[in-house]
Structure 1
């Protein structure tokens, strides 16, 4: 099981998509099925979206919409009950208690693999601190691994980070130098793009990291007159961000273990 999360401000558009509704309100036949709700009275998509929007108005949170798609490996066939249990555990493990947050979960039937869409109101019912969004990539990886183990799901295998693409002979040396430099930086528990860039510059490697809404969207490197994209050297933008955030989370965990008891 894997998770992909986006944060937004429009409950109506998000919930209507989850419910399989077109822009004009017409339902896309057999695309979606409502699996569960928490802390909502309405049963129709627009009513649920309105309830969630009104609750968010009592919060200072400018982007209250948390949308996560949970996907299973092609060929894996979790039951409806298992998908509901996975969605509930996901909310709890990410900090959105189903007693304190409004939640809507839809199953979509438009892809070969089983998947559900989880919508959480980051603003808790009755007020309080909004659901934290920092380090979502690393948290999603950890939480999905935990739920997959608890419920017996198969882990979806992605292309291994660090595996290099085929490049031209004139690029091979630069490719290897950049790949090894990034690997070594990650082994040294690097957690930020700034620190990674500093270490690569020390090796004579120029970096370009393009960010959008706090997420790494594009990477490229230049060494000894050769320019290469992040995927060419074995680390896509998403893989690199995940690995840095995993290092950050591991650092926090080590710090917690070493913290003295007062």
Structure 2
């Protein structure tokens, strides 16, 4: 079993992450809450959070089982409840949400750090050690695969090596209870790395998550960025090093290089430029290109042409890409305006 502590300490943001995609929610359970209803949980947790002056009322962590383990819902719930007790959060409000979007069983725990009666925020000191100690005991008691942690090992366990040591910035993140970028990528994009069949597919899958693969600064190796932080591909997982990816897909080519070879139309180039700026967090450039796209789409004058042009963007993007969704929404607004104008003209106004 592995526990990871999330970076979000906001009630609304954590709930959004846990429940926005309903298809991946397997089940939910509440602790010290009368309902698992999203609005109810948010309202009740906010009321309790106001008892304290903390601006970080939420403690969020996940628990993942090995693929060889197959715990039942009852066993997963009991494990989550035990970890809350071992952390000292048994009297606090908590929402437990199991997800089904991986081959292995896993769940998330969203706990209110503020005690509902005392109004004092729970001190998370030594939380990693407490979590790992709790997991080791649960593994041994239930016969699940034992995964020695960095902070706690049982008798007979050997302390594991960090695949690569944390740098100073990542160590600071861990101390603050935040997950370094390579851990977040490992959690949310490992399946994309393993299932992709080509550089193009991998680029498009990662672009949906706001991630970009680049060559290393010295022309060797590779790195991945969310537009704000960078981490080495090999740090995400040794199977995803540039060398191993090139063994699978051939010589590395960036998404931009592949798009350039296709011979894009002018508006497709504008969209590609907008998508990259959007993905890389370049707000000024993305705003400029979005304005340019809006002007071009509006000049097409018919709803059919706008719709057809939007479909051409899928040759270099995907329906799930946030940039495509943004432009698609803009295009639908223009289509509605064109249709309304046509209807008005048809009535003789």
Same fold (TM over 0.5): yes
The structural deviation recorded for 1:128 is: 3.9
Correspondence 1:94 to 2:87? yes
- What is aligned with 1:143? 134
User: How do 1:43-82 residues align onto structure 2 when only pairs under 5 Å count?
Assistant: 43-82=36-75
CA contact (8 A) 2:48 2:119 kept: no
Determine which structure has the larger strand proportion and give its number: 1
Alignment of 1:113-262 (within 5 A): 113-156=104-147, 160-161=160-161, 209-210=168-169, 211-212=172-173, 214-215=175-176
Comparing both chains, which one has the higher relative contact order based on Cα–Cα distances under 8 Å and sequence gaps of 6 or more?
Answer: 1
**Closer/same/farther in 2, CA of residues 153 and 55 from structure 1, 3 Å limit:** same
Give TM-score scaled by structure 1 length. Answer: 0.57
Q: Does 1:105 align with 2:66?
A: no
Higher helix share: 2
Conserved 8 A contact 2:29-2:36? no
Cα pair 2:9 2:58 within 8 Å, conserved: yes
Alignment size in residue pairs: 171
Q: Secondary structure at the match of 1:30?
A: helix
TM-score, L = length of structure 2: 0.44
Offset at residue 51 of structure 1 (A): 1.1
CA offset digits 1:227-256 (Å, max 9, x no partner): xxxxxxxxx8xxxxxxxxxxxxxxxxxxxx
Look up the match of 1:16. Answer: 16
Q: Quick check: 1:15–1:46 contact (8 Å CA) kept in 2?
A: no
Q: How far did 1:163 drift? A: 7.3
1:34 to 2:34 alignment? no
Larger Rg: 2
1:5 matches 2:5? yes
Task: Report if aligned partners of 2:4, 2:63 keep a CA contact under 8 Å in 1.
Answer: yes
Does the 8 Å contact 1:12/1:46 carry over to 2? Answer: no
Contact persistence 2:136–2:148 (CA under 8 A): no
Structure 1: segments with no counterpart, 5+ residues: 22-27, 165-181, 183-192, 194-207, 219-235, 237-262
What secondary structure sits across from 1:161 in the alignment?
coil
Contact 2:136 2:147 in 1 (8 A): no
Residue in 2 aligned with 1:170?
Answer: none
The equivalent of 1:249 in structure 2 is: none
User: Which stretches of structure 1, 4 residues or longer, exceed 3 Å deviation after superposition?
Assistant: 156-160, 212-218
